[in-house]
Amino acid sequence: MKNVYTKWLASNLPQYLKDELNAIQESDKDIEDRFYQYLSFGTGGMRGILGAGTNRMNIFTIRRVAEGLARYIASNGDEAKKRGVVIAYDTRHFSKEFAVETARVLGAHGIRSYVYKESRPTPQLSFTVRELHAFAGVVITASHNPKQYNGFKVYGEDGAQLVPAGANALIQHMNAIKELFEISVADLASLEEQGICRWILEELDASYLTNLLTLKDDVKADFNIKIVYTPLHGAGLVPVMNGLKQFGFDNVYLVEQQAIQDGTFPTVSYPNPEESAAFKLAMELGKQVRADLLLATDPDADRLGVAVRNGEGYELLTGNQLGALLFHYLLHTKQANGLLPINGVMIKTIVTAELGTKIATHFNIDTINTLTGFKFIAEKIEEYEQTSEHSFLFGYEESYGYLIKTFARDKDAVQVALKVAEMAAHYAMYGKTLLDALNDLFKQFGYHREALVSKVFEGKDGQVQMKAILDDLRENVPTEVAGVSVVRVEDYLKGIATLANGATELINLPKENVLKLYLADNSWIAIRPSGTEPKCKYYFGVVADTEEEAEERLNRLVHLQL
């Protein structure tokens, strides 16, 4: 590793990267962490800390993944190169620079690129790939990660993130790259002059908005409700504000301090709408204007957080709660308008709560479970469009990701922000808030509660620790948890579900390092290492006849040490 470090230091680096490396020359541990591996590219793309080194996000590791993508596209022939790649980016540090660097590498192979002039949401990138009939898409983002991170996600021609087969092909091309500093890059001005690199913005904004407006249903609604929106310094600002206006909402208040597109995220420590701290300024503004609804999107606007006025304060909805609420509203509206298909389907991930499944069953709608990652939901959407086996109605995951209409093929916080506003306006006509509507669902289907506990494992040692935890649990699966029998164990790495009586069933999903335990009281626990962060995630779900009993069961599970 010291040799690689020395080679980097002797190379033609930008001064800021060279300064970083000079500052750690006495620290073998820092050198090892930066150079023990190439930043990995998985089915969730590539994500890491900004900085110098092979295990960091910088122009050289960007060139490596862009070169792998270029070779992958070239292997698909001249038509693929001609159709080209759409490139978008969020507001993080170096996002635009990395986008341009990607276009330069692609251009060196004669591959066209369509680059957004300004930051735009990840779902808009997904939409644009389909709209321009491009062969692939790239978005530079680290989603809701802290400010020191950035990332690189790749999309296929269907507008969805690459599934394992495509990602593995790209990885093979990346692994064939021997000399990082010899990757060719073209001159940007020359690419623009030749028409190989084209800047895009207004025309795609207009087309995306046109599609967003197809979400609006003819329902009774009070469009005078007051809404506060914060983009958390990210890319959601333009499409969300334009969309709400076009939907007919005039009382929309923007958190001005967080409308500034700034990769330092100066007003939040963690730009994640799943966290209550991210709503601090929105809540302050909400109290000033007596807002009914607070909306927040993460930096690349694929995740939406929602808070609802409850007395003098605001209560955040969880991803599971918002997903169930929105799904029920969509089905109820379609049923009332005679538009509910007989072959409808809802698609969710294996760590998403079961309230949505109960709602689907109530409306005679099928539920399909996929592995974690919206690309798997998108894969099923594409399959059903080809086979007509099902009509897609809704897809969601507990981590605040939802999709209603398939003009985008990734979770779309812009779509959902508009539809949640409509839903809140609809219930307001009947004197109800979203909290009231949620409580109605609990009364009908049982009180569902969920929790997520994440344990951080940084660096090389952390990866080893995470693997050891799952390996040990896999070999020593408990027969009971908190005094309740384990009735089913799903091992997604082995692809086998084992029942309490020893009987087994095959799991018809791709292999992934996840364990899920089902208990006799309908509670469940799932354990999985994150695919994009140095974390091991523990998911808990319970259901009971009363709110108090549900809270008690959940607390009992969360405080276990598995």
Any catalytic annotation for residue 143? yes
Whether residue 54 is predicted with pLDDT greater than 70 in this model: the reply is yes
Query: Does 429 share its domain with 301?
Result: yes
Whether residue 127 is predicted with pLDDT greater than 90 in this model: the reply is yes
Identify the weakest region by mean pLDDT among 69-73, 81-85, 137-141, 469-473: 469-473
Mean pLDDT for the chain? 95
Whether residue 335 is predicted with pLDDT greater than 80 in this model: the reply is yes
Query: Does 275 share its domain with 139?
Result: no
Query: Does 301 share its domain with 399?
Result: yes
Q: Give the model's pLDDT for residue 532.
A: 61
Q: Give the model's pLDDT for residue 469.
A: 84
Whether residue 1 is predicted with pLDDT greater than 90 in this model: the reply is no
Q: Give the model's pLDDT for residue 164.
A: 86
CB 199: neighbour CB atoms within 10 A? 12
Percent of the chain with pLDDT over 90: 88
pLDDT tens-digit series, residues 185-212: 999 999 999 999 999 999 999 999 999 9
CA 465 remoteness from chain centre: 25
Whether residue 134 is predicted with pLDDT greater than 90 in this model: the reply is yes
Element containing residue 327 per DSSP (H, E): helix 319-336
Query: Does 435 share its domain with 420?
Result: yes
* Angstrom distance (rounded) from CA 392 to CA 413: 18
Q: Give the model's pLDDT for residue 485.
A: 95
* Angstrom distance (rounded) from CA 205 to CA 88: 12
Asked if 318 and 326 count as a contact pair (C-beta separation under 8 A), the reply is: no
CATH number at residue 547: 3.30.310.50
Q: From residue 470, how far is each of 16, 387, 465, 492, 498 by CA, in Å? A: 39, 37, 9, 12, 17
CB 289: neighbour CB atoms within 10 A? 12
Query: Does 329 share its domain with 437?
Result: yes
Percent of the chain with pLDDT over 70: 99
pLDDT tens-digit series, residues 209-266: 999 999 999 999 999 999 999 999 999 999 999 999 999 999 999 999 999 999 999 9
- Nearest Cα residue to 411 out of 450, 447, 361, 372: 372
Q: Give the model's pLDDT for residue 531.
A: 63
Q: Give the model's pLDDT for residue 538.
A: 93
Query: Does 469 share its domain with 368?
Result: no
CATH number at residue 128: 3.40.120.10
The residue from 113, 126, 143, 399 that is catalytic is 143
Q: From residue 249, how far is each of 208, 238, 429, 450 by CA, in Å? A: 19, 15, 14, 32
* Domain end marker among 140, 175, 200: 200
Whether residue 58 is predicted with pLDDT greater than 90 in this model: the reply is yes
* Domain end marker among 200, 230, 253: 200
Q: Give the model's pLDDT for residue 548.
A: 97
Query: Does 452 share its domain with 441?
Result: no
**Higher per-residue pLDDT: 276 or 464:** 276
* Angstrom distance (rounded) from CA 285 to CA 265: 18
For the chain, how many structural domains are there in total?
4
* Angstrom distance (rounded) from CA 282 to CA 294: 7
Q: Give the model's pLDDT for residue 455.
A: 87
Element containing residue 10 per DSSP (H, E): helix 2-10
Per-residue pLDDT, averaged over 54-83, amounts to: 97
Query: Does 258 share its domain with 392?
Result: yes
pLDDT tens-digit series, residues 527-543: 998 766 678 899 999 99
Query: Does 173 share its domain with 216?
Result: no
Plot region of 53 (φ>0 → left; ψ -120 to 50 → alpha; else → beta): left
Q: Residue 10: which domain range?
A: 1-31
Torsion, Cα 73 76 77 83, to 10 degrees, reads -50
- Identify the band that residue 26 occupies on the pLDDT scale cut at 50, 70 and 90: confident
With H, G, I as helix, E, B as strand and everything else as coil, classify residue 295: strand
Whether residue 6 is predicted with pLDDT greater than 70 in this model: the reply is yes
Buried b (16+ CB within 10 A) or exposed e, 396-429: bbbbbbbbbebbbbbbbbbbbbbbbbbbbbbbbe
pLDDT tens-digit series, residues 306-323: 999 999 999 999 999 999
Per-residue pLDDT, averaged over 400-425, amounts to: 98
Buried b (16+ CB within 10 A) or exposed e, 333-356: bbeeeeebeeebbbbbbbbbbbbb
Query: Does 277 share its domain with 367?
Result: yes
CB 222: neighbour CB atoms within 10 A? 14
Sequence length of the chain is: 562
Residue 503 identity (one-letter amino acid): A
pLDDT tens-digit series, residues 476-517: 889 999 899 999 999 999 999 999 999 999 999 989 999 999
* Angstrom distance (rounded) from CA 110 to CA 232: 37
* Domain end marker among 398, 428, 445: 445
Query: Does 324 share its domain with 451?
Result: no
Tell how strand 113-116 and strand 197-200 pair up: parallel
Alpha helices in 132-236 (DSSP H): 164-175, 188-194, 202-212
Query: Does 516 share its domain with 546?
Result: yes
